[in-house]
Amino acid sequence: MLIVKNTILSDDIFRKHFVCDLTQCKGRCCIEGDAGAPLEEEEVGIIEDCMDEIKSFLSPESLQCIEHNGVFDYDEQGQLVTPLINNQECAFVYFEDGIAKCVIEKAYLHNKINFQKPISCHLYPIRITSQLNYDTLNYHKWPVCSSACKQGETLKLSIFEFLKTPLIRKYGKKWYEEVKKEANITLNHI
Instruction: Specify the pLDDT at position 43.
Output: 96
Whether residue 130 sits in one domain with residue 95: no
Where among 59, 93, 116 does a domain terminate?
A: 116
Whether residue 41 sits in one domain with residue 14: no
Whether residue 72 sits in one domain with residue 47: yes
Pairing of strands 135-139, 7-9: parallel
Instruction: Specify the pLDDT at position 4.
Output: 85
Instruction: Specify the pLDDT at position 142.
Output: 85
The ranges of the chain with pLDDT < 70 are: 186-190
Instruction: Specify the pLDDT at position 189.
Output: 47
Phi, psi of 107 (to 5 degrees): -60, -40
Whether residue 130 sits in one domain with residue 107: no
Q: Which residues partner with 27 through β-bridges?
A: none
Residue 73: DSSP 8-state: E
pLDDT digits (tens, 9 = 90+) for 88-130: 899 999 999 999 999 999 999 999 999 999 999 999 999 999 8
Instruction: Specify the pLDDT at position 86.
Output: 83
pTM for this predicted structure = 0.89
In a domain, 106, yes or no: yes
CB environment 52-90: b (16+ within 10 A), e (fewer): ebbeebbeeebbebbeeeebbbeeeeeebbbbbbeeebb
In a domain, 62, yes or no: yes
Which domain covers residue 167, as residue numbers?
1-18+125-190
